[in-house]
């Protein structure tokens, strides 16, 4: 089947070759703007005749004409110009551009360049400068606030934070909802964005919906982010850019902690029997709890400076106790642990060339020292790109090598993360002085550390490391042959090869015999015995190859300018992961699986997927005001069983420019552009991994024992009957320009119907399996997007100019059905898909309430109770995303601000739930640790009869309530409004270029001072963290835990030279 | 001419990347075997060990250890939040649960049965799998009552299996075991039938032992129904037919080759880990006062084998590691509901249970076989000498635990006079309670579910109710809740079986009086 397709394509190629050599001479030309950049798709007509043509995306045109003819060259957003033909066969026409936005060429699927005004769907393009306003290390961060409908979420702080790129919300219950990344025409992984130098990016185009992306077929339902890299300069002069960036990073928002109460964790009985620190857990005189100095929980008496209590921890084997004042530390010890992070970026690039040939070379070195001591990352990027034109053949290519390294702290020997250990530190512990863990006599040592239950965070910093090294080679080659005036043949070949080497190491611990015997009966961590060291080595080799061939034919038929593209796309993706670990190492400092007792655990996983696609794309332009476009694609995938593995993808869209249609409109002063558009598409997607249609067996857990092997049936039922998912999208839009395009307005509405979703439905194990891959579930997504660009709100003669760009997206996905009568599907992170509810939905337990919603408390204990069932309490992705970016420039100064708001959603503050347990949160001190009347509570006096509770106090207002009561166990106690206003970036640039213009050796000099994460404004209930942070990069959103670090703010200075 | 070269180049590249199997060659998973590759020899070993692990049930969270505390064997050391649930007799749709464990094993046993099919050569594998199936289904019925049986394990053919009546499942299991036993007997002389080798990690291919195990399981199925008045005639007929085959006299222990670096279920939870530290569960459990005091009050030397002395722990992975004591004051356990505050304040699990890193895990002990026979004799189901069988049961328990001079020590123990539930009493009713109580005393930590079954069926031994002041329930549960997955993924069948209305404290399994 596919062989025949290739063969017929080849025949077409050869056929047109014959036509090509028969072509006669004519004049050719180029349409550019004042700076030499091409104006694509300009109309070229011979005055007084019906003969004419349209320039291509590069502004080039060819026309049969004769000397003396007058050509009229026009383009939307530019002043038309007439040109009289002379003997010159190669002409350049320069048009004066009035509005840049509308003339821009949009690079759509497979590098197909289309005129912005002809598009029937919504796209957005962000240029290099805009992308780098915040000087991000990861290019995805540069999109924040710039594109309506794009939700870019930074999942955590740290030296290499994971960034989630999602367009138009979530639609798949069980598959990745992130956008597809395309780099220079080659499909890539979205996480590869973290390995690209943002300075190498010429433009980033966002194809928001399935319609825009339909030509990419099965992977395009989540939209596409297209990265086009720089290929060199066009104006004939070599340019050298040097840029040095220095960033300081500081903690900005820290959870609200209490600094009033000391350590106590519910202990009973007598502990220290010797002097001078003898005490019991309960004060024999007052009946209240005593200070427990070895505790992690902070439910003890208030700090009062009592010198008799001036110690932390239990005595060591010499009877010594670490002595501190019985006051909280001046600087909160939990903050004191963090350091100032420093990031430096060094960029150098060289570009040269003209319109035919150009080249580009860039280097980048980024070094990040994080806010957690010793956390570090760096990245080196090297890119070479060039473009050559040989007559009708244009070849461009690029090669990118990047190396990324991250080295961060891992979990300690108890398996807990550093941040959690830190949060379990009492306020009177001078943690920053307890770095000397290696000294056996130090109170920082594992045997003498004050906290009986959680280890010294500095121990993990020095002894538990997670190191990742990524090597990427990415390259692509594009060849374009102008076969005839009306046909181009294109060939693209690309590869991305990534090698990941992961190593995590954990030092072993031998506890002293003194500590192991748990002399004070604390149940200390040392008493559970020595901890062996461990190592995990993982290597992952990933390889992607893709080849794309297309023929582009342009023809004017009557009043229609038509363009037909026929193409073929083939890709192959391979990965091989090898994991080996041994958690029983016996030699200190030797992290090699060979030096362990027991049997190392090893595994190997190979995956390979291929796809073949054929596509056709037809667009027609009727007299410059009506545009039709349709595409069709058929995919053949190796993922599904033969017979189910091919599927159709199609899209149609149309645009009507009223402005161009009605001459009356063109005469008005106030209106400068008007267009309506619509699009409809149907895309298929396969969201299961390779080999999901054939049942397999696993090695039985624990086996082999010696020579005895055993296999067990996989608990997932792999279904040979699976077919692809389907997304049907409809989109309409309106685009308006006013007052010579000083005001641009763009509106889109879209509606997605996502059916036949593939997911592993949970089945009861009495079927022999615990889950089964099925086609089930449907969701509907819809949303509105508004973009408003106000250019030159203020534009004075003295040079003050104010621009203001804003965008708003409103998005909702609703679950319509799941498998059979199933109503719920667990997404993870307390997120659920629930039929009839928005997706994803936070789904947690609640406190028992009366019909009015008041919490019902027990008439004796004054305590609420937890429901045994779960309730949906709100969506976990923002309903509203608002982006604002004002720009003010005056003389050589320019000030740019990027701000955004995300609202209409909730998150689960799991870290607060845990800090309530430890008594560290300020929350737990709100009632002074006294018994209190649960606010707005009622008491049930008879079935269904509730009286307001005016007199029954909680039986415990201390540890019994905050750590152990139903209040803390109920999910709703910690589900908080996730809304936040953020000023993401304020950037101030001073351009020295005019000042240095007199020196020949330098062309430009700019100094920028900027601040990222300037401010965050949250509802009062969230006094903890950034609601954007999430436990992991998954469909389960809005789950903040103690694995996420506190939010930081970054101050950056950038000095850029151009030579 | 140049153009022609370019185009030919393109064509060459396109052509080279295509061949016929381009997509289909990636259909097979290169990482894992498919059904065509897996053989019964490879699937069988894991089914034996996984079934044994579930029966032994040492996994402390959610598995059988709830029963271990309920019947008085174990208590929990303080500071671990989950013990509140156990000591309050709380059962939920998530804990305790054995549903997934047993059905997971049954799915693989079903593979062996299906692959065995009608093949004569693989008949032994199929027969072994069916014996194990009978054990798994019996234990599921005992925990849950009605369960999916005839419609279970059908994969996509039935994702919503209906439930069968518990009593009917019992009858079906008895009939299946009859078929298996006659096939084993017939095949014993057939040279074409493959005799399993090392992949039979229980009996090493000794089909005679499998026959005895099958017969013992059949007798257990029958004795378990002793309180069902309407089935007495049936029980007697069926039990009589077991007599000629005989019963298990050896311990059925699964051991695929455990070693210090690859430990079995019991040792892997309570012994010394590969790295030399204590395995995770050792400090979680402490002696239950009821069982510990019973051994003390009956002068039973097994006290020092089921339990360790206060403050001791295994210290050497390969040798003797417990300090034994002849002073009963060195052993201590609290009654359920009284929370031992620290691990050091209760006796840990003892050296008769945690023996050596290479120890196997018991599926069915000879001791249990003898006690079941003794009861069957006392109830008139089979003929024999109940007292002799009773004494053999105690002796087999002493032998399993490794009590010094086991046979003599056992004889001295059961030879004591005037001690209730030890000395052989005169009245038949007392004999039954004595047999059940000593069965309970022998199965400590080795088959806690069977002790719970006997309590539900006979009321012996009379375990005191939990002392937990917060417990709402005043007696052990009568059954488990169905797991949450049945309510969500198999809702109609679950409701039809009464899953939405059952009360685990009053809804009885059919064999309960």
| CB contacts, 8 Å: B274 with chain A | 584, 597-598
Shortest Cα–Cα distance, A523 to chain B (Å): 7
Shortest Cα–Cα distance, A605 to chain B (Å): 6
| CB contacts, 8 Å: B28 with chain A | 691, 694
- CA atoms of A202 and A138, how far apart (whole Å): 15
| A43 vs A465, residue with greater confidence | A465
pLDDT of amino acid A24: 44
pLDDT of amino acid B6: 54
- A-chain residue closest to B15, CA distance: A6
Cβ contacts of A86-89, under 8 Å, gap ≥ 24: A88/A27, A89/A25, A89/A27, A89/A28
Confidence of residue B172 (pLDDT cuts 50, 70, 90): very high
Question: Using CB atoms and an 8 Å cut-off, which of residues 285-324 of chain B contact chain A?
Answer: none
Asked if A766 and B152 come within 8 Å (Cβ–Cβ), the reply is: yes
Asked if B110 and A547 come within 8 Å (Cβ–Cβ), the reply is: no
Partner residue opposite B32 with nearest CB, options A14, A491, A697: A697
| A285 vs A423, residue with greater confidence | A423
Beta-carbon contacts of residue A60 (< 8 Å; ≥ 6 apart):
A28, A29, A30, A38
User: For B26, what's the count of Cα atoms within 13 Å in the CB-facing half-sphere?
Assistant: 23
Cβ contacts of A814-817, under 8 Å, gap ≥ 24: A814/A779, A814/A780, A814/A781, A814/A838, A814/A839, A815/A173, A815/A777, A815/A778, A815/A779, A815/A839, A816/A778, A816/A779, A816/A780, A817/A776, A817/A777, A817/A778
Shortest Cα–Cα distance, B406 to chain A (Å): 31
pLDDT of amino acid B454: 97
| CB contacts, 8 Å: A763 with chain B | 159, 485, 489-490
| CB contacts, 8 Å: A606 with chain B | 30-31
Candidates A520, A695, A700, A765: best to mutate against B (most CBs of B within 10 A) is A765
| CB contacts, 8 Å: B279 with chain A | none
Res B5 pLDDT > 70: no
Res A579 pLDDT > 70: yes
- pLDDT, tens digit, 9 for 90 and up, residues B455-511: 999 999 999 999 887 788 889 999 999 998 898 889 899 999 999 899 999 999 999
For A69, the 3-state DSSP assignment is: coil
Q: Pick the closest to residue A487 from A19, A804, A48, A94 (CA basis).
A: A19
Shortest Cα–Cα distance, B293 to chain A (Å): 25
Question: Using CB atoms and an 8 Å cut-off, which of residues 452-481 of chain B contact chain A?
Answer: none
Q: Is the Cβ of B111 closer than 8 Å to some Cβ of chain A?
A: yes
pLDDT of amino acid A765: 94
Mean pLDDT taken over chain B: 89
Res A59 pLDDT > 60: yes
Asked if B7 and A269 come within 8 Å (Cβ–Cβ), the reply is: no
Question: Using CB atoms and an 8 Å cut-off, which of residues 192-221 of chain B contact chain A?
Answer: 198-199, 201
Confidence of residue B321 (pLDDT cuts 50, 70, 90): low
State the average pLDDT over residues A681-697: 90
N- to C-terminal Cα distance for chain A?
A: 55
Res B60 pLDDT > 50: no
Asked if A2 and B22 come within 8 Å (Cβ–Cβ), the reply is: yes
Partner residue opposite A14 with nearest CB, options B7, B159, B261: B7
Mean pLDDT taken over chain A: 88
pLDDT of amino acid B83: 64
Least confident window among A21-25, A280-284, A871-875 = A21-25
Asked if A6 and B156 come within 8 Å (Cβ–Cβ), the reply is: no
Res A420 pLDDT > 50: yes
Q: Is A344 exposed, middle or buried (0-12, 13-18, 19+ CB in 10 A)?
A: middle
Dig out the tokens for A112 from the structure: 């197909």
Res A114 pLDDT > 90: no
Asked if A641 and B27 come within 8 Å (Cβ–Cβ), the reply is: yes
| CB contacts, 8 Å: A393 with chain B | 2-3, 6
Confidence of residue A933 (pLDDT cuts 50, 70, 90): very high
- The model carries a pTM of 0.85
Asked if A10 and B14 come within 8 Å (Cβ–Cβ), the reply is: yes
- pLDDT, tens digit, 9 for 90 and up, residues B14-38: 544 455 688 888 888 999 999 989 9
State the average pLDDT over residues A179-197: 89
Least confident window among A352-361, A801-810, A981-990, B130-139 = A352-361
Res A13 pLDDT > 60: no
Shortest Cα–Cα distance, A386 to chain B (Å): 19
pLDDT of amino acid A36: 67
Dig out the tokens for B444 from the structure: 């400590």
> What is the residue whose two structure tokens read 């009978």?
B134
| A868 vs A802, residue with greater confidence | A802
pLDDT of amino acid A17: 42
Least confident window among A211-220, A463-472, A1013-1022 = A211-220
Shortest Cα–Cα distance, B158 to chain A (Å): 7
Shortest Cα–Cα distance, A1 to chain B (Å): 9
| A500 vs A824, residue with greater confidence | A500
- pLDDT, tens digit, 9 for 90 and up, residues A618-673: 999 888 889 999 999 999 999 988 888 888 999 999 999 888 888 888 788 888 88
Angle B235-B436-B207 from CA coordinates, rounded to 5°? 60
pLDDT of amino acid A385: 94
Confidence of residue B104 (pLDDT cuts 50, 70, 90): very high
Confidence of residue A814 (pLDDT cuts 50, 70, 90): very high
Asked if B3 and A21 come within 8 Å (Cβ–Cβ), the reply is: yes
Partner residue opposite B262 with nearest CB, options A608, A698, A705: A705
Shortest Cα–Cα distance, B107 to chain A (Å): 5
pLDDT of amino acid B168: 98
pLDDT of amino acid B510: 97
Shortest Cα–Cα distance, B425 to chain A (Å): 45
> What is the residue whose two structure tokens read 């090669």?
A399
Partner residue opposite A491 with nearest CB, options B10, B24, B342: B10
Partner residue opposite A762 with nearest CB, options B23, B341, B489: B489
Least confident window among A161-175, A531-545, A875-889, B201-215 = A161-175
Number of inter-chain CB pairs under 8 A, A vs B: 251
Could you tell me if A451 and A458 are in contact, meaning their C-beta atoms sit under 8 angstroms apart?
Answer: no
Asked if A711 and B38 come within 8 Å (Cβ–Cβ), the reply is: yes
State the average pLDDT over residues A1002-1015: 92
Res B345 pLDDT > 80: no
Shortest Cα–Cα distance, A695 to chain B (Å): 6
- pLDDT, tens digit, 9 for 90 and up, residues A268-285: 766 655 555 666 777 767
| CB contacts, 8 Å: B141 with chain A | none
Shortest Cα–Cα distance, A711 to chain B (Å): 5
Q: Percent of chain A scored above 90 by pLDDT?
A: 50
Partner residue opposite A772 with nearest CB, options B29, B44, B159: B159
Shortest Cα–Cα distance, A762 to chain B (Å): 7
- B-chain residue closest to A595, CA distance: B275
Asked if A713 and B23 come within 8 Å (Cβ–Cβ), the reply is: no
- A-chain residue closest to B10, CA distance: A491
pLDDT of amino acid B322: 66
- A-chain residue closest to B22, CA distance: A610
Asked if A705 and B38 come within 8 Å (Cβ–Cβ), the reply is: no
- CA atoms of A1019 and A908, how far apart (whole Å): 14
- pLDDT, tens digit, 9 for 90 and up, residues A297-350: 999 999 998 888 888 888 888 888 888 889 999 989 999 999 999 999 999 999
| CB contacts, 8 Å: A645 with chain B | 23
State the average pLDDT over residues B182-209: 95
Asked if B33 and A696 come within 8 Å (Cβ–Cβ), the reply is: yes
Asked if B43 and A713 come within 8 Å (Cβ–Cβ), the reply is: yes
Query: Residue A360, Cα to own-chain centre: how many angstroms?
Result: 28
| CB contacts, 8 Å: A269 with chain B | 341
- pLDDT, tens digit, 9 for 90 and up, residues A902-917: 999 999 999 999 999 9
Q: Is A356 exposed, middle or buried (0-12, 13-18, 19+ CB in 10 A)?
A: exposed
State the average pLDDT over residues B114-132: 95
Counts for chain B of helices (H) and strands (E), in that order: 19, 4
Shortest Cα–Cα distance, B278 to chain A (Å): 6
Query: Residue B231, Cα to own-chain centre: how many angstroms?
Result: 26
pLDDT of amino acid A45: 78
User: For A200, what's the count of Cα atoms within 13 Å in the CB-facing half-sphere?
Assistant: 31
User: For A443, what's the count of Cα atoms within 13 Å in the CB-facing half-sphere?
Assistant: 20
pLDDT of amino acid A524: 84
- pLDDT, tens digit, 9 for 90 and up, residues B407-439: 999 999 999 999 999 999 999 999 999 999 999
Angle B6-B7-B12 from CA coordinates, rounded to 5°? 100
- CA atoms of A349 and A400, how far apart (whole Å): 13
Asked if B30 and A606 come within 8 Å (Cβ–Cβ), the reply is: yes
Asked if A710 and B261 come within 8 Å (Cβ–Cβ), the reply is: no
Confidence of residue A592 (pLDDT cuts 50, 70, 90): very high
> What is the residue whose two structure tokens read 């950049």?
A37
Res B68 pLDDT > 60: yes
| CB contacts, 8 Å: A548 with chain B | none
State the average pLDDT over residues A702-727: 92
State the average pLDDT over residues B319-325: 64
Asked if B155 and A698 come within 8 Å (Cβ–Cβ), the reply is: no
Confidence of residue A14 (pLDDT cuts 50, 70, 90): very low
Dig out the tokens for A510 from the structure: 């031998």
């Amino acid at each position: 089947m596919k062989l025949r397709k290739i063969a017929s394509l080849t025949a077409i190629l050869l056929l047109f070759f014959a036509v090509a050599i028969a072509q006669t001479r004519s004049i050719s030309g180029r349409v550019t703007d004042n700076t030499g950049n091409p104006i694509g798709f300009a109309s070229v007509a011979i005055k007084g005749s019906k003969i004419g043509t349209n320039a291509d995306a590069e502004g080039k045109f060819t026309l049969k004409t004769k000397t003396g003819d007058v050509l009229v060259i026009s383009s939307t957003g530019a002043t038309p110009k007439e040109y009289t033909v002379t003997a010159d066969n190669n002409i350049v026409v320069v048009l004066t551009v009035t509005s840049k936005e509308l003339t821009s060429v949009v690079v759509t699927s497979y590098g197909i360049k289309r005129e912005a005004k002809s598009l029937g769907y919504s796209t957005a393009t962000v240029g290099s400068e805009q992308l780098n306003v915040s000087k991000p290390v990861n290019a995805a961060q540069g999109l924040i606030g710039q594109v309506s409908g794009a939700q870019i979420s930074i999942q955590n702080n740290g030296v290499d934070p994971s960034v989630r790129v999602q367009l138009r919300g979530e639609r798949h219950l069980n598959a990745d909802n992130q956008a597809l990344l395309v780099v220079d025409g080659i499909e890539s992984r979205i996480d590869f964005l973290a390995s690209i130098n943002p300075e190498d990016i010429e433009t980033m185009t966002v194809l928001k919906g399935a319609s825009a992306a339909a030509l990419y077929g099965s992977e395009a339902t989540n939209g596409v982010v297209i990265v086009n890299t720089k290929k060199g300069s066009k104006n004939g002069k070599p340019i050298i850019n040097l840029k040095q960036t220095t960033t300081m990073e500081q903690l900005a928002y820290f959870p609200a902690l209490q600094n009033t109460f000391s350590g106590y964790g519910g202990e009973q009985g007598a502990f220290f029997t010797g002097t001078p620190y003898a005490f019991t857990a309960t004060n024999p005189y007052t009946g209240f709890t005593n200070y427990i100095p070895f505790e992690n929980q902070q439910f003890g008496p208030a700090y009062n400076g009592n010198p008799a209590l001036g110690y932390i921890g239990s005595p060591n084997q010499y009877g010594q106790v670490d002595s501190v004042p019985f006051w909280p530390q001046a600087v909160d010890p939990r903050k004191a642990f963090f350091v100032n992070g420093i990031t430096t970026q060094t960029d150098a690039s060289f570009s040269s060339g003209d319109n035919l040939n150009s080249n580009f070379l860039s280097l980048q070195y980024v070094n990040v020292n994080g806010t957690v001591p010793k956390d570090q990352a760096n990245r080196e990027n090297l890119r070479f790109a060039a473009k050559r034109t040989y007559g009708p053949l244009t070849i461009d290519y690029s090669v990118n090598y990047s190396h990324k390294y991250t080295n961060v702290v891992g979990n300690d020997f108890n398996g807990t993360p550093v941040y959690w250990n830190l949060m379990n530190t009492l306020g009177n512990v001078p943690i920053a002085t307890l770095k000397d863990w290696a000294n056996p006599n130090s109170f920082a040592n594992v045997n003498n550390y004050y906290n009986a239950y959680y280890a010294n965070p500095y121990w993990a910093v020095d002894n538990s490391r997670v190191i990742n090294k990524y090597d990427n080679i990415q390259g692509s080659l594009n060849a374009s042959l102008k076969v005839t005036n009306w046909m181009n043949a294109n060939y693209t070949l690309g590869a991305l090869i990534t090698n990941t080497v992961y190593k995590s190491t954990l030092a072993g611990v031998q506890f002293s015999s003194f500590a192991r015997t748990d002399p004070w009966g604390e149940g200390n961590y040392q008493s559970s015995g020595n901890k062996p060291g461990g190592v995990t080595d993982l290597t992952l080799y990933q390889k992607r190859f893709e080849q794309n061939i297309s023929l582009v034919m342009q023809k004017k038929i009557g009043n229609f300018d038509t363009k037909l593209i026929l193409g073929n796309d083939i890709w192959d993706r391979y990965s091989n992961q090898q994991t080996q670990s041994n958690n029983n190492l016996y030699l200190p400092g030797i992290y090699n699986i060979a030096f362990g007792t027991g049997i190392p655990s090893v595994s190997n996983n190979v995956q390979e997927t291929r796809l073949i696609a054929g596509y056709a794309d037809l667009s027609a332009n009727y007299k410059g005001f009506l545009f039709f476009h349709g595409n069709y694609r058929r995919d053949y995938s190796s993922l599904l069983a033969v017979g189910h593995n091919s599927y159709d993808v199609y899209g149609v869209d149309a645009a009507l420019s009223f402005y161009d249609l009605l001459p009356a409109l063109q005469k008005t002063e106030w209106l400068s552009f008007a267009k309506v558009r619509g699009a409809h598409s149907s895309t298929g997607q396969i969201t299961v991994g390779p080999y999901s249609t054939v049942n397999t067996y696993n090695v039985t857990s624990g086996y082999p024992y010696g020579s005895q092997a055993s296999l067990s049936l996989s608990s997932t039922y792999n279904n040979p009957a699976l077919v692809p998912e389907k997304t049907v999208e409809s989109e309409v839009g309106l685009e308006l320009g006013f007052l010579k395009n000083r005001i641009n307005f763009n509106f889109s509405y879209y509606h997605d119907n996502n059916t036949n979703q593939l997911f592993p439905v949970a089945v009861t194990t009495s079927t022999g399996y615990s889950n089964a891959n099925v086609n089930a579930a449907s969701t509907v997504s819809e949303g509105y997007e508004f973009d408003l660009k106000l250019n030159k709100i203020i534009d004075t003669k003295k040079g003050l100019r104010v621009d203001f760009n804003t965008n708003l997206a409103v998005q909702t996905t609703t679950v319509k059905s799941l498998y059979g009568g199933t109503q719920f599907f667990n997404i993870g992170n307390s997120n659920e898909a629930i039929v009839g509810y928005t997706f994803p939905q936070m789904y947690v337990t609640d406190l028992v309430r009366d019909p009015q919603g008041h919490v019902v408390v027990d008439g004796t204990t004054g305590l609420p109770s937890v429901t045994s069932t779960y309730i949906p309490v709100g969506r976990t992705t923002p309903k509203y995303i608002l982006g604002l970016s004002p720009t003010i420039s005056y003389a050589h100064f320019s000030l740019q601000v990027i701000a955004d708001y995300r609202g209409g959603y909730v998150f689960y503050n799991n870290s607060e739930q845990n800090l309530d347990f430890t008594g560290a949160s300020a929350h737990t001190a709100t009632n002074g640790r006294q018994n209190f009347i649960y606010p707005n509570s009622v008491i049930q006096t008879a079935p269904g009869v509730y009286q307001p509770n005016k007199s029954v106090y909680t039986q415990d207002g201390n540890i019994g309530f905050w750590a152990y009561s139903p209040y803390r166990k109920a999910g709703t106690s910690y589900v908080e409004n996730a809304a936040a206003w953020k000023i993401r970036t304020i950037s101030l640039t001073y351009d020295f270029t005019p000042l240095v213009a007199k020196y020949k050796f330098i062309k430009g000099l700019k100094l920028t001072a900027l601040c990222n994460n300037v401010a965050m404004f949250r509802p009062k209930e969230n006094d903890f963290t950034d609601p954007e942070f999430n436990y992991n990069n998954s469909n389960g959103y809005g789950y903040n835990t103690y694995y996420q670090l506190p939010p930081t703010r970054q101050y950056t200075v950038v000095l850029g030279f151009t030579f | 001419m140049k153009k022609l070269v370019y185009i030919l180049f393109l064509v060459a590249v396109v052509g080279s990347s295509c061949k016929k199997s381009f997509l289909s060659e990636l259909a097979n998973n290169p990482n894992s075997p498919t059904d065509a590759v897996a053989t019964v020899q490879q699937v069988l070993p894991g089914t034996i060990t996984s079934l044994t692990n579930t029966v032994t049930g040492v996994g402390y969270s959610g598995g059988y250890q709830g029963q271990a505390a309920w019947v008085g064997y174990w208590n929990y050391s303080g500071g671990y939040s989950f013990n509140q649930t156990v000591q309050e007799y709380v059962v939920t749709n998530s804990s305790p649960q054995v549903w997934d464990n047993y059905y997971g094993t049954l799915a693989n046993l079903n593979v062996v049965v299906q692959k065995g099919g009608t093949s004569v050569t693989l008949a032994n594998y199929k027969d072994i799998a069916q014996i194990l199936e009978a054990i798994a289904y019996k234990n599921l019925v005992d925990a849950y009552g009605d369960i999916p049986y005839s419609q279970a394990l059908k994969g996509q053919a039935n994702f919503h299996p209906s439930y069968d009546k518990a009593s009917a499942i019992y009858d079906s299991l008895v009939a299946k075991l009859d078929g298996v036993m006659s096939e084993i007997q017939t095949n014993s002389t057939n040279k074409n039938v493959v005799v399993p080798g090392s992949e039979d990690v229980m009996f090493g291919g000794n089909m005679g032992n499998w026959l005895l195990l099958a017969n013992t399981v059949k007798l257990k199925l029958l004795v378990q129904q002793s309180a069902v008045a309407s089935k007495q005639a049936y029980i007697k007929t069926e039990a009589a037919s077991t007599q000629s085959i005989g019963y298990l006299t050896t311990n059925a222990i699964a051991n695929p080759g455990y070693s210090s670096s690859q430990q079995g279920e019991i040792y892997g939870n309570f012994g010394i880990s590969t790295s030399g530290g204590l395995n995770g569960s050792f400090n979680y459990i402490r002696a239950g006062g009821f069982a510990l005091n019973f051994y003390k009050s009956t002068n039973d030397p097994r006290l020092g084998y089921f339990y360790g002395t206060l403050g001791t722990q295994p210290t050497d992975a390969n040798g003797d590691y417990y300090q034994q004591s002849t002073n009963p004051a060195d052993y201590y356990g609290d009654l359920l509901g009284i929370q031992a505050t620290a691990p050091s304040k209760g006796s840990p699990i003892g050296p008769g249970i945690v023996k050596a890193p290479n120890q196997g895990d018991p599926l069915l002990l000879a001791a249990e076989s003898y006690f079941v026979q003794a009861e069957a004799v006392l109830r008139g189901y089979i003929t024999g000498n109940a007292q002799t069988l009773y004494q053999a049961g105690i002796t087999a328990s002493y032998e399993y635990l490794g009590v010094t001079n086991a046979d003599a020590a056992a004889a001295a123990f059961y030879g004591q006079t005037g001690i209730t539930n030890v000395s052989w009493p005169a009245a038949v009713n007392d004999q039954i309670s004595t047999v059940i109580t000593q069965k309970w005393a022998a199965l400590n930590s080795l088959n806690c579910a069977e002790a719970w079954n006997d309590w539900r069926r006979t009321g012996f031994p009379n375990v005191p109710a939990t002392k937990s002041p917060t417990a709402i329930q005043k007696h052990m549960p009568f059954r488990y809740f169905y797991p949450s997955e049945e309510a969500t993924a198999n809702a109609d069948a679950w409701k039809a079986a009464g899953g939405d209305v059952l009360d685990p404290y009053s809804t009885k399994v059919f064999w309960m009086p």
